[in-house]
Amino acid sequence: MLQERKILLIIGGGIAAYKSLELLRLLRSAGAKVRVVLTSAGCEFVTPLSASSLSGDKVYTDLFSLTDEAEIGHIQLSRDADLVIVAPTTADLLAKIATGQADDLASTLLLATNKPILLAPAMNVRMWLHAATRRNVERAKLDGCFFIGPGEGSMACGDFGPGRMTEPLDILNAAANLMDRDLDKGSAAKSLPLEGKKVIVTSGPTHEPIDPVRFIANRSSGRQGHAIARAAAQAGADVVLVSGPVSIPPPVGVQLICVETAKEMLAAVQQSLPADVFIAAAAVADWRVERIEASKIKKDKNGLPVLKFIENPDILAEVAASGEARPPVVVGFAAETDGLLANAQAKLTKKACDLIVANDVGVGSDVMGGLDNIVHIISRDKVESWPRLSKDLVAEKLVRHISLLLSNGDK
């Protein structure tokens, strides 16, 4: 997908900048033509000479360079590319992108471009988790930027947590996937694949109360389901997002129904039918407590409490079995710790859905609550495995896959 593609690679000023040289090498080996812009902080970590040796082209650093401006104006530089990659995206660059600042070459190009922007953040974990950065990420996403990572792990500064730049090979895959789509925002607007279609998405966990202050839940963040709702809305669909309790904001342009329990989620979905597509991305609690205590269970009243569980309704299976009201495309998820593909295939049959998106949530996987996902798309006759991608890209690819199913009538 990258053969002959023009990539503008902006290298920000962070220790991860050394990995961007490897990304540059990989992009070139994949056949892309890469132009490099180094921020002034980026020049402190890698030199223009090393970047230019790898890109085979001159490296741009200065907004007010008369020679550069005479050769290729900065607006032209931002428009010439098919894709802009910012790696590493530092907290500072992200803030500039989110607020539309244009006080150096990199930020000016990012404001002037009309091409997709892929951001690979890298920063200290505290900076990444700071409320200001959280706002900037959401703002940049709403403005249409794509994110890959950051990953989690130990960092150069000694901290541990999210903030490491995604590995170059994964950024390369994400770039190839973006190139796989209709890249021109203008032409995307002309032919939105889900225009006129209604899509219901469930997302997040459910909370099953035990007493007025306690509940049973799971680690779902709602990121994947929310990203799918966003991607479906961007593809032109009328989206109803039925969400359990999450701490992330809803995407713009979707109808949000907030629920707590599985029973409430089922009722909200049923009320929202009919639809063309149902995507069950929620991590619904399989069981609820049979008897919810009206008062807080006291710690030392009668020794340890014994909770009796009963099964929750299976929303996906019920929707798939809803006869005339069944949406033409019903998609489920299978988060498994063992026997991923076999369990997911069994779920496809048992729940009578058209697709199962299977992901491994076993030990060592950072899928639950994380920003990336590795999924397998299982239909009745085949399994398609996708590389590690950000949840946003998984959402986009999935929405495209579903649009094709709908238009081909082929499930």
List of residues contacting ligand C5P (CB under 6 A):
202, 262, 280, 282, 284, 286, 312, 314-316, 332-334, 347
Identify which of residues 32 and 229 has a Cβ nearer to ligand C5P in the complex: 229
Q: Which of 403, 360, 44, 407 is nearest to 235 (CA)?
A: 403
Check if 157 is active-site. yes
- Catalytically annotated residue among 43, 157, 258, 353: 157
Identify which of residues 41 and 248 has a Cβ nearer to ligand C5P in the complex: 248
What's the rounded Cα separation, in Å, for the pair 169 and 116? 19
Identify which of residues 20 and 312 has a Cβ nearer to ligand C5P in the complex: 312
Identify which of residues 109 and 280 has a Cβ nearer to ligand C5P in the complex: 280
Q: Least distance from C-beta 234 to ligand C5P, angstroms?
A: 22
Identify which of residues 54 and 395 has a Cβ nearer to ligand C5P in the complex: 395
What's the rounded Cα separation, in Å, for the pair 93 and 40? 12
Q: Least distance from C-beta 227 to ligand C5P, angstroms?
A: 15
Residue with tokens 């907030």: 258
Residue nearest to ligand C5P according to CB distances in the complex: 315
Identify which of residues 238 and 314 has a Cβ nearer to ligand C5P in the complex: 314
> Catalytic amino acids?
157
